[in-house]
Amino acid sequence: MTATDALPQQPRIAWQTGRVHAILDETSRVKSIILEPATWSGHWPGQHVDIRLTAEDGYQAERSYSIASPPEEKLLTLTVERVDGGEVSSYLLDELRVGDALEFRGPIGRHFIWSRTRGGPIFLVAGGTGITPLMAMLRHRRRSLAHTPASLIYSVRSLADAVYRDELDAMAQDDRDLRLVYALTREQPSNWSGHWGRVNEMLLANNSFAREHDPSIFVCGPTGFVESISSMLVKLGFDPFSIKTERFGPSGG
């Protein structure tokens, strides 16, 4: 039985220490931290972990980060965006080094999850680093050789702000069952022929699966973005119970 056949049985999720295996630059404000856990029971795409930092004086800070890696990988990928003035993101992006120990616990979350065993189609809508748990789903879909029809609308300020852009583009180019659409809200290349501006009902309608196909819908991003997208999807006639959301708002970073 794999991690995607049944949820890990963990009545109590304990803190453990993992080692930083690698750190990858994704954009000017985002990095992916690849962590090697001491023990790991597996996860579902869409779950997250808690990170805990402890200062010499005993002060502790905790933050939650979605898992970007698929369950087929033994290493965990956590993608972190810089929060201006954020104590945890600043440490993770500026001070953390390969080989360092990092305290974490997980996997956490049983609502915002998908695996190939659940079938499809799947309709994904991401805003900014909200792409992270959705990327775990797409990576799992690719690694498991599932031909589940999938559509991703990814809203970012500019192409330079698109996390995993090269990998996403390669996925879409090689996979006729995957539809990828960028919505650029601030800056567009001079030769840009795609969507510019915020995601609207027309974009959702033109790049989603028909209601009769009963897609599983996952929306992740800032709170306002998620609420707006969810409202538009309901107006378009999609079943509210098929819409799973994950949101993030202002925090200590």
* pLDDT per residue as tens digits for the range 146-196: 889 999 999 999 999 999 999 999 999 989 999 999 999 999 888 888 898
Helix 165-174 × helix 131-143 angle, to 10°: 40
* pLDDT per residue as tens digits for the range 25-72: 999 999 999 999 999 989 999 999 999 999 889 899 999 999 999 999
Alpha-carbon distance of 209 to 192, in angstroms, equals 25
Alpha-carbon distance of 135 to 121, in angstroms, equals 16
* pLDDT per residue as tens digits for the range 105-119: 999 999 999 999 888
Alpha-carbon distance of 38 to 18, in angstroms, equals 6
Taken as a whole, the chain contains a residue count of: 253
Alpha-carbon distance of 31 to 92, in angstroms, equals 9
The domains of the chain, with CATH numbers, are 16-108 (2.40.30.10), 116-248 (3.40.50.80)
Task: Find where tokens 């698929």 sit.
Answer: 70
**pTM for the full model?**
0.91
Say yes or no to pLDDT of 7 above 60.
no
Region of 46 please: left (phi>0), alpha (psi -120 to 50) or beta. Answer: left
